[in-house]
Amino acid sequence: MLPRSSSSASPAAYAATTPSKETPKPTTTAQAQSADDKAAKACKAERKSSGVEAFQKQYGTNHNLRNAFGKCVSGKSKDDKDEKDEKDEDDDKGEKSGGAAKACKAERAAGAEAFAKTYGTNHNLKNAFGKCVSGKSKAKDKKDEKDDD
């Protein structure tokens, strides 16, 4: 018989300290899938209504235009995500900057490229909307402080 080591840990103690291999899936995956499903349905309908050839010419980018459906779906799902993010941004700002967000949205609708050049500060100017809202909110706060004096 082999002697038992006194330093061995019990299997129950080992199991308690071992992390579980199962990780819960984030809910954003399901949300992304539903957005992709909506985009796929929209692209199928568009392909059916416009015809396969016209659809491929519009969305296809490779030599035989066979990637048109994927490009359509990815473009539409990205647009849906951007719209949802903007809506969430507006909701997160609350009433304090609601006017600022609306003003910036209207200004951006008038000319997206000029808006990005005016307010964007990073390498791709994608932060323009946030910078606009922030600037307008701060200006409003300063005006409110002066009115209080």
Measured CA distances, 139 to 79, 106, 125 (Å): 30, 18, 21
Measured CA distances, 2 to 5, 6, 61, 97 (Å): 9, 13, 70, 75
pLDDT of 115-148, one tens digit each?
999 999 999 998 999 999 999 988 877 777 777 6
What's the predicted TM-score (pTM) here? 0.39
Q: What local confidence, expressed as pLDDT, does residue 49 receive? A: 94
- In the chain, the amino acid numbered 35 is A
Averaged pLDDT of the chain: 77
Please report, to the nearest 10 degrees, the dihedral formed by the alpha carbons of residues 74, 78, 84, 86 taken in order.
-170
pLDDT of 25-55, one tens digit each?
554 666 667 778 888 999 999 999 999 999 9
The answer to whether the CB of 103 falls within 8 A of the CB of 71 is no
88-117: average pLDDT: 77
